Structure 1
Amino acid sequence: MKSEVSPFRQPKIVWAVAFACVVSFMGIGLVDPILASLSVDLHASHSQVELLFTSYLVVTAVAMLVTGWVSSRIGAKRTLVAGLVLIVIFAALAGSSGSIGGIVGFRAGWGLGNALFSATSLAVIVSSATGGFAGAIVLYETALGVGIALGPLLGGELGSISWRGPFFGVSALMAIALIAVLVLLPKTPTPARKERLREPLLALRHRSLATTSLVGLFYNWGFFTLLGYSPFLMAIKSPVKLGLVFCAWGVFVAVFAIWGAPWLKARFGTANTLYGNFVLMGLDIAAIGIWPDRPTVVIVAVIVAGIFCGVNNTLVTTAVMSIAPVERPVASATYGFVRFIGGGLAPFVAGKLVEHYDAHVPFLVAAGSLVVAALVLSTVHKAVTAADRGETVQPEHTELDRVEREEQLEVAAGIGNES
């Protein structure tokens, strides 16, 4: 029997990209410890502060639609470099800004860089990593988990000096990642096939991809409600202490993404694991919705949620990439677009719901979104189970080829009429 290849025995190219991924994902939770400080120092409402998540994630989502188009024309390395350069610039500009509006705007530019980098980095890791597709996903989710764990810790430490510190910190770290990619990643050839701008949207015509992308949207609604608004309920004024809470949460995310998810998948299957995980995470978030005025309950619930987030991050991504009947870069862009729309809107909506109602409502809504995710997933149960058995779906270009043939016929008809 052939021994299993460890996902952590990788070439330098993969480690360079993985390090950049860690720093990139640090940007997700980086602002959590300084949300309260930003609200006070910049005289901003909670919903205005939540726009730091919304501008970043919504721009990331929309930009996901063009990442494949860009990468297929200039190559993966240049796309990675472009994304890293944008993050370095806009993270530094956010740190130098003097208003909440300015930070929100620069976070949007940061989101554009994140889209170019994150979508392409997954493709590079999948194509360069040893251990096959499953090993590459584990490595990618490991980078996600480590980044999410370290982001709040760094944000808390630097935020205790100034709210500007975390932004400058990420800019400096991303500059190091940029150098690593430039030095260690060889020039990548331009793909033979140029991706079309509308391919990610056309891919939504495939039921399996559209359905699993919706699962990601509902899951991310719960995820980012928790991540974005819970700091306001913890009654912790110290950015360092807030950072430690979210670091503990992030450690659980990393541990269960790397080890918990594969074990549960092997024992119960992807679909069954996700059903239980979504429901349990929904109950965990519902506890915050029932007792939002009890900081201890909120803190414990947030840390425990890391278990469910880690399992979900790995298994939902694997499910999407396994059953999508299109090429993986297209599937990644489509999935990223849909799920980040949910993730981007959730924190802002949470702030508005609190302003118009109370702190119970956004978390009860988020808990409901996790139950909806489980119900939506059940409609593609057979496809997910088949993927567990190794019956992977081969990429197909039927719809795209049909559209292209129709356009070619239209052009030919036009030339014929002119002659």
Structure 2
Amino acid sequence: MGKFEFDIARVRSDFPILDRKVNRCPLVYLDNAATTHVPDQVLAVIANHYHTHNANVHRGAHTLSLEATGYFEKARERVAEFVGANRKSEVVFTRGTTDSINLVAQSWGAANRKSGVAVTAMEHHSNFIPWQQLCRARRKKLGVVPLDSSGDLDLDALEVMLRKDDIGLVAVTQVSNVLGTVNPLRDIVELAHRFGALVLIDAAQAVRHEAIQAHELECDFLCFSGHKMMGPTGIGVLYGKASLLEKIPPFAFGGEMADRVDAIRSTFQPAPLKFEAGTPNYVGAIGLAASIDYLKGVGLSAIRLREQELLRYAEKRIRSISEVRVLGSPKRRAGCLSFAVEGRNPFDVAAMLDAQGIAVRSGSMCAQPLVKNLDVAQVVRISPAFYNTFEELDACIAALEETVAMLPPALQG
């Protein structure tokens, strides 16, 4: 089943939660597209900061504040290197991907009142609703780029939209959180730029296993969250080209982001500080940097290869179960796959799997437009991470087969 550059038993030992039991069964955690677990190494960095360096950043001349500020800004440097930014000032710390997207929607939207936005039919609500609401408020067009029957993006339709409509920005996920479709970002960026549109990439589902170099790709904005990549919750990143971050205004106001304030007017710090109003989640940023170090220590290429094999194995096994339909067959799939069980309620399926210690996701995945297009009401999703094992997938498949047998369609309401 493939050889990798790391020892899976050693890696799993970094995540004690994987040894716990749920409903008296060994935990099989297959909901990593929602949130990954945090290794002891990252937790130790967070605890050490609170134990030895904790103080508010950018505000004090005392030793602890200077130390905390230094670690915070070193974290920014680590993230900038990780995403391929030209400089650390292109990295803004936020509360998560959703916060990053809303920041761009409000800030770019305030500076670009004449342009519409194109999103894709596979977007998470976080990369759909902010643009929908912006376009409604501005009375501008929201274009929704359709998918083909396999679950891949229809680039011809995107080109028609860019050619015909006044589209100022294309918002696209790197990897679908429902189908696992890996979008051809280079083609999308080149196409959008040819027509003068910016590109925002939601990399939340990709950041752990589909590395990206933002400057090389020439995308304009890139967003992701720490909790999808073995980091803490409540911390996210917005990468933006320096030229854009300098031009667009802040939309949240408060301490630290201000430069000069009087009763008449205020001026603001340069980016990224002008977008980080109030006390930032500096410990979260430090924890995020530690998670980057951890992932690089394990090996980003090894992580990608292992997760690809886990997902291929899971898809092959699930497709063999009668009455189960795997959704989509994109050219490239990463991170997750979703399926429907004929006549069964996805929440019932997930609950029966949970009764055997198996954690999966059920529902619309916060992607209702996509799920409706798939002609299902809700789905079940599995999303393995590199710390999962093939034996855990076997346990999940066996439990799913048992669930299908025990939960006949006639019992569903």
User: 1 or 2, which has the higher strand percentage?
Assistant: 2
Report if TM-score (shorter chain) is over 0.5.
no
Which one has the largest radius of gyration? 2
